[in-house]
């Protein structure tokens, strides 16, 4: 059975070793070293590990004691969920520039349906490449991506060229790809189920495909139908966005640090233009404007002011931006400036579910 168009264009974006990479971003001396996130107490567990630590067999949910045994020179760092969320919000704002059909799975991964996208770009692969580039330029973090006709295959594909890579499984490649895929890579196949399949001589998708729907249902109950469909590329779960926008932001990281407020005003003018454009595009207004300053030593500072009326136009909010910039003296040269609106006119709205339906 061949898959029939029209096909959806789904991207799965997955940040590379997210927690560990954030630690390296904020502490450059950690780059290239074996690090584990989660603290170093003997009773603790590893939340995440850098790729350097993974080479020694260190992985998430492993006890700190075992991690030290496997990698004696490992460096433990504390979790910083406020920072993870901050960067995650920046990444999601990039997603929303391309499509409103974004389904976050966690702070560090999400599905995007770009079948119809805001850029009018017919190539999901090029969109994924552009998004990964934007993420790096905005946050300094690397992301990997998988691109295919449904969420399941896109998620599997995103792991193939990690780190900092992407993999596209085109419609005509889906069936051959699934036939060669080890069954333990199939969604819904855990260790116990995989072991049962191995005992039945089912090792790759093609082995699974030889089983009838009746056989699979008898062997695996309700999950049997799922396995029957998924090995044939049938996975109709749509990308399900459900969000109320609580803030809207724009920011820029500079190639060279800036130390003069005059130059910063010039940069903020550009950032404000972008913010105004996003406010109009999303039909959003806000009362609280925040100036974000990240210094050359990575120390971060925010300055905010709430006005009586909602603002949307640059001519209305930029005087507040200048007021915030000159509110206090700068404590160092600056590597990043950002502007964001909070207290939006959208916050009291009910969530709206958006779903595209395509027939195979």
How many of the other CB atoms lie within 10 Å of CB of 320?
18
pLDDT(356) > 50: no
Q: What is the DSSP string of 5-70?
A: S----EEEEEETTHHHHHHHHH-GGGTTS-EEES---TT-B-SEE-HHHHTTT--TT-BHHHHHHH
Share above pLDDT 90 across residues of the chain, in percent, rounded to a whole number: 68
Asked whether 67 and 46 are in contact (CB, 8 A), the reply is yes
What is the phi/psi pair of residue 119, to 5°?
-90, -10
pLDDT of residue 350: 39
With respect to CATH, is domain 181-230 assigned 3.30.160.20? no
Q: Distance (Å, rounded) from C-alpha 26 to C-alpha 9? A: 34
pLDDT of residue 347: 61
pLDDT of residue 357: 34
Which residues does 231 contact at the CB level (< 8 Å), separation at least 6? Answer: 178, 179, 186, 205, 208, 209
pLDDT(82) > 60: yes
pLDDT of residue 106: 85
Instruction: Return the CATH architecture of domain 248-344.
Output: 2-Layer Sandwich (3.30)
- The CATH code of the domain at 10-17+82-172 is 3.30.70.270
CA distances to 21, 132, 257, 354 from 338, rounded to whole Å, are 21, 20, 14, 30
How many of the other CB atoms lie within 10 Å of CB of 54?
17
What is the phi/psi pair of residue 48, to 5°?
-160, 155
Residue 202's pLDDT band (boundaries 50, 70, 90)?
very high
pLDDT of residue 117: 93
Q: Which segments of the chain belong to CATH 3.30.1490.100?
A: 248-344
Q: Which segments of the chain belong to CATH 3.30.70.270?
A: 10-17+82-172
Strands 109-113 and 102-106, how do they pair? antiparallel
pLDDT(147) > 70: yes
Average pLDDT (22-26) is: 96
Which residues does 262 contact at the CB level (< 8 Å), separation at least 6? Answer: none
Q: Distance (Å, rounded) from C-alpha 253 to C-alpha 258? A: 10
pLDDT of residue 355: 37
pLDDT of residue 245: 62
Q: What tokens does 222 get? A: 């309700």
Q: pLDDT averaged over the chain? A: 89
Q: Distance (Å, rounded) from C-alpha 246 to C-alpha 92? A: 12
In what order do the strands lie in the sheet containing 75-77? 48-49, 35-37, 75-77
Instruction: Return the CATH architecture of domain 19-80.
Output: 3-Layer(aba) Sandwich (3.40)
Q: Which segments of the chain belong to CATH 1.10.150.20?
A: 181-230
Average pLDDT (166-191) is: 92
Which residues does 240 contact at the CB level (< 8 Å), separation at least 6? Answer: 103, 353, 355
pLDDT(111) > 90: yes
Q: Among all chains, which residue has been given the structure tokens 């920011």? A: 251
Cis upstream peptide for 152 (omega within 30°): no
Residue 39's pLDDT band (boundaries 50, 70, 90)?
low
pTM: 0.67
pLDDT(1) > 60: no
Closest CA to 177 of 152, 144, 195, 199: 152
Highest mean pLDDT among 133-137, 298-302, 338-342: 133-137
Q: Distance (Å, rounded) from C-alpha 163 to C-alpha 87? A: 18
Active site residues: 109
Average pLDDT (194-207) is: 95
pLDDT of residue 44: 76
| Lowest-confidence segment of 43-52, 137-146, 331-340 by average pLDDT | 43-52
């Amino acid at each position: 059975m061949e898959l029939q168009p029209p096909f959806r264009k789904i991207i799965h974006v997955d940040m590379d070793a997210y927690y560990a990479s954030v630690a390296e971003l904020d502490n450059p001396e950690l780059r290239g070293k074996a690090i584990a996130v989660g603290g170093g107490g003997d009773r603790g567990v590893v939340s995440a590990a850098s790729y350097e630590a993974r080479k020694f067999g260190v992985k998430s949910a492993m006890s700190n004691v075992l991690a030290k045994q496997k990698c004696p020179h490992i460096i433990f760092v504390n979790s910083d969920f406020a920072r993870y969320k901050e960067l995650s919000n920046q990444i999601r704002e990039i997603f929303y520039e391309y499509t409103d059909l974004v389904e976050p799975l966690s702070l560090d991964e999400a599905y995007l349906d770009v079948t119809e996208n805001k850029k009018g770009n017919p190539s999901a692969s090029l969109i994924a490449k552009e998004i990964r580039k934007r993420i790096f330029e905005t946050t300094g973090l690397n992301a990997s991506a998988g691109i295919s006709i449904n969420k399941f295959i896109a998620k599997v594909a995103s792991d193939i060229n990690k780190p900092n890579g992407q993999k596209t499984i085109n419609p005509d490649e889906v069936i051959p790809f699934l036939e060669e895929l080890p069954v333990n890579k199939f969604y819904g196949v855990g260790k116990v189920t995989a072991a049962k399949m191995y005992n039945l001589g089912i090792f790759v998708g093609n082995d699974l495909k030889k089983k009838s729907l009746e056989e699979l249902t008898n062997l695996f109950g309700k999950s049997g139908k799922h396995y029957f469909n998924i090995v044939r590329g049938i996975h109709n779960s749509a990308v399900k966005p459900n969000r109320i926008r609580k803030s809207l932001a724009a920011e820029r990281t500079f190639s060279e640090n800036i130390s003069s407020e005059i130059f910063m005003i010039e940069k903020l003018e550009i950032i404000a233009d972008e913010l105004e454009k996003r406010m109009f595009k999303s039909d959003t207004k806000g009362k609280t404007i925040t100036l974000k300053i990240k210094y050359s030593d990575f120390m971060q500072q925010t300055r905010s002011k709430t006005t009586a009326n909602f603002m949307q136009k640059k001519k209305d909010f930029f005087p507040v931006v200048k007021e915030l910039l000159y509110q206090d003296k700068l404590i160092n040269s600056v590597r990043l400036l950002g502007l964001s609106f909070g207290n939006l006119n959208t916050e009291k709205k009910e969530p709206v579910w958006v779903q595209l339906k395509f027939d195979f």
